[in-house]
Structure 1
Amino acid sequence: MNVVVFFIVTVTCCLLVTKQWVSGSALPKPSLELITNDPRNIIVMGDTITLKCVKGSQNANNYYLLHINGTGHNGTLEESSGEFLFRDIKNENNGNYACRYRDAAFFSEFSSSLNIFVQEKFPRPSINVSPRRVVQPGAAITITCRAHRANIRFTILKNNAIITQGSDDGSKFSYVINAANNENEGYYSCIYESKNGSSVHLKSVRSNPMRISVLGLAAPSLTCEEDPNDSRKFRINCTIPESTAPLDELYFFLLNGSKLIENEVRAKDKSVTFIVAKPPHITKKYLCMYQIEHDSEDLADSLYSAEKYLWEDLPQPSMHLEPDSTNDDMKIRCMAPREYKEMQFQLLNDTRVIAEHATNHTSSAIFTIKTSQYPKEKLSCSYRIRLDCGFVDSRSCKYFSDTYTLMFVRHILSALVLILMGIIILMHFRGLRKAEEYRPALPSTRVRFEQRADDTQVVWK
């Protein structure tokens, strides 16, 4: 019995070793990778490709590439590096490929198969337009055709007729329409082909057609007013012309002075209202536009509306007491840095308006109030000007704390300047006096000469 068991175990081990040597199950299964110059791994005639056998063992000696084409013909290539290079690829290179490797004793199993299909035409290019496919008359349009190839020439067509050919940088080509009109409407497409001198001359499949339309949409009107429910906000109304045909859907845009979109509304009516907060003492202007869907292809832009000024950063006014003021009546002048067409001046006690004065093309106003009723330190003034959407307020200027403090500071600075000038003059005269007291000694020759000069007497005859 023991002999029989020993015989069965021995035969089983021998079979397992034999199977392992034949199939190479001890070596990891490799993988086969395709390397091309095309990011989509599309292969056309004349290309150069590499099939790389990636092993899972570090002890491989040789690599083997098996090729099975459509006719059932098998071919095997052998390389020591694991990279199989194919130049100027042709139709006979179509088929399935698999690889394996071996070390000193064993073969690995084959990798999963990789199918190679060689196309006889370049792949389809892409075509696009900037800024959009539906533009206003006179707008500039740039049509660009792109491909993932080099050393090629592009052809752009309109309604199947060639309009231009060329190549910008080898992989794209642009055609510019400087001022679009109705004659530029139509379907645009493009193709590309090998340049002269290429080893294989191929053409691409034509791109999908792209329709360009020129549509003139009139500018909307923009009106604005102070919100009757909240004085801290404005109401801005954007309305398309009445002559515009009925539309199922509109897109309204509110833009700032830099033509950047600040708000967007989707509507079915021909008018929308935007609510915006009054800006904090900064110059602000707005305009609006709208978009419509055109033939379910793209959105068409209208022209911009006229600009409206909502707010302006107004400089602070100044206040001073008029010379003819008395102990009972104060005459206070509120002066703006410049004059405006329509202005309103306000005199405030704390934050309460106690007097108003409207002017036209005048930069100041005089208020007369009782001295006993309002202390100077609580008085202030401001002014308002009318812009497109209503009145805009300036910052207020306080009478006592602003005006008198400023005058006091000016007087102090003037006094300091005078004192400094006096010190400089005093130091200058002291320096001159010291120079006279400590005159340097003269040389001995100069001294003798001066003495002789003193002893000489001049006699006139």
Structure 2
Amino acid sequence: MDPFTLRTAACLFFFMTLQARGDQLSKPALLVLTKDSDDVVMVGDTVNFMCQTAHSGASRFLLECQHQNLPVEQSESNFTIVGVTSNNTCKYYTCQYCVQSVCSEPSDPVILYVRETFPPPKIFAIPWKVVQPGDPITIACSSPYDDVSFSLYKNNQLVAEDGNNARMFYYNITQMNEQDGGQYICTFTKTMANKLQLQSEPSDPLLIRAKDLPKPTISGETNYSDNEGLLIHCTAPTQYRRMWFRLISDKNDTEQEINDVPTKNVTFVISYPEYLQKKYYCDYRIRIGNDFAYSKVSNAAIIGSAHNDHTTENIIRLLLAAFILLATAAITCIHFKSLHRSVLLDRPSDNVTFTMESEAITVEQKPGNQYID
């Protein structure tokens, strides 16, 4: 055999050896496709596996699983399991692809866990978990799944059920009182495609309570150190160790917050007030365990612009200044009148000659003589 033929045969043998080991084929990736965004697989679901590879010449695909009657071999890269059961729970699913008689190495393993109960729903309170006595409160339960039926429990006793087959359930309490307080949980049930009804795990507990926090007082004044500024004072009736305050506009928007202070008096500074009159309110909250309790909202403080509005204090100052000015003028006038009355006229001297026109008689006063008609 000539040297060229020998080298060709050696290369062919080496290439066939590599093919037999599959070293020239890149490792595939195994993807699990479910209807759930979190890849939660329930009993009765349909699950799709995709053995993904960039090789265009793959002719066979294999899906393997430990402790299962596998591998499954087919010509397509997609594998479908309809109506999975708990027996389909597998710690390691892998896939391979083959080009002619050579197969790739297995993909990285994928764990498929088939659940017999759904994950728990979420439960929360609207607006808060601690409200004023007599205020409304809503308990809401939510699930990421469609067509579910909710059950709501208080202290392990069923209080409400919902059969609307929606993702949300609302339980309304129109006037909260102490009897409504307690620990609530919710669950849901879903009917699968095979008519099997599966329950969810219970939600986290939700503790709702009624707490009476009286409303604070509110007042406002012009900031004289800054003609464009306003000072709004908010005072709670009781001081707690930690307090949170909020300034609210007439549109129910939070304008400012002062958080976690050990005082019941706070002042909000508005540097650039609007020129139109505006109503402000304030409230406060305190921490109770891991929750917050909110107070009633204060009365309104109506505050106008620094250019167009005069506060009560400004009006009082103007009236007081006017009164002082009038009083000063009156005192000055009285002083001048009394001064005019206190000046005595000089008596005529002895050498003054009086002329009486009616009698046309001239009388001359001599020293030591008396008046003569």
Taking the aligned partners of 2:202 and 2:6, their CA distance within structure 1 comes to 70
**Partner deviation per Cα, 1:344-398 (whole Å, 9 max, x = no partner):** xxxxxxxxxxxxxxxxxxxxxxxxxxxxxxxxxxxxxxxxx97665449xxxxxx
SS in 1 for 2:103: coil
Taking the aligned partners of 2:223 and 2:292, their CA distance within structure 1 comes to 32
Taking the aligned partners of 2:31 and 2:62, their CA distance within structure 1 comes to 14
Instruction: Using CA pairs under 8 Å that are at least 6 residues apart, name the structure with larger relative contact order, 1 or 2.
Output: 2
Which range is displaced more, 216-225 or 165-174? 165-174
- Where does 1:359-378 land on structure 2 (aligned, <5 Å)? none
**Partner deviation per Cα, 1:240-271 (whole Å, 9 max, x = no partner):** 11xxx541111111222222121211221110
* Structure 1 counterpart of 2:43: 45
* Structure 2 counterpart of 1:289: 283
Over 3 Å counting, the alpha-carbon distance change for 1:197 and 1:211 in structure 2 is same
In the TM superposition, residue 212 of structure 1 has moved relative to its aligned partner by 0.8
* Structure 1 counterpart of 2:83: 88
SS in 1 for 2:100: coil
Which residue, 227, 239, 247 being the options, matches 2:223? 227
Q: Is the 8 A contact 1:234 1:389 kept in 2?
A: no
- Where does 1:442-461 land on structure 2 (aligned, <5 Å)? none
* Structure 1 counterpart of 2:160: 164
**Partner deviation per Cα, 1:99-152 (whole Å, 9 max, x = no partner):** 111233532222112121212222222111221111122322222222232332
Alignment coverage as a number of residue pairs:
312
RMSD: 2.9
Over 3 Å counting, the alpha-carbon distance change for 1:53 and 1:217 in structure 2 is same
* Structure 2 counterpart of 1:201: 197
**One-letter amino acid of the counterpart of residue 42, structure 1:** V
In the TM superposition, residue 57 of structure 1 has moved relative to its aligned partner by 0.8
In the TM superposition, residue 198 of structure 1 has moved relative to its aligned partner by 5.0
* Structure 2 counterpart of 1:27: 25
SS in 1 for 2:286: strand
* Structure 1 counterpart of 2:16: 18
Normalising by structure 1, we get a TM-score of 0.62
In the TM superposition, residue 221 of structure 1 has moved relative to its aligned partner by 0.5
State the identity as a percent.
28
In the TM superposition, residue 12 of structure 1 has moved relative to its aligned partner by 6.3
* Structure 1 counterpart of 2:295: 302
Which range is displaced more, 140-149 or 36-45? 140-149
Which residue, 229, 254, 259 being the options, matches 2:252? 259
In the TM superposition, residue 86 of structure 1 has moved relative to its aligned partner by 0.8
Over 3 Å counting, the alpha-carbon distance change for 1:131 and 1:114 in structure 2 is same
SS in 2 for 1:75: coil
In the TM superposition, residue 20 of structure 1 has moved relative to its aligned partner by 2.1
Taking the aligned partners of 1:86 and 1:188, their CA distance within structure 2 comes to 38
In the TM superposition, residue 155 of structure 1 has moved relative to its aligned partner by 0.7
* Structure 2 counterpart of 1:311: 304
Taking the aligned partners of 1:147 and 1:282, their CA distance within structure 2 comes to 46
* Structure 2 counterpart of 1:140: 136
Over 3 Å counting, the alpha-carbon distance change for 1:294 and 1:65 in structure 2 is same
In the TM superposition, residue 164 of structure 1 has moved relative to its aligned partner by 0.8
* Runs of at least 5 residues in structure 1 that lack an aligned partner in the other structure: 315-384, 393-461
Q: Is the 8 A contact 2:229 2:306 kept in 1?
A: no
Taking the aligned partners of 1:26 and 1:185, their CA distance within structure 2 comes to 68
* Structure 2 counterpart of 1:186: 182
Over 3 Å counting, the alpha-carbon distance change for 1:196 and 1:28 in structure 2 is closer
Taking the aligned partners of 1:251 and 1:141, their CA distance within structure 2 comes to 22
**One-letter amino acid of the counterpart of residue 24, structure 2:** A
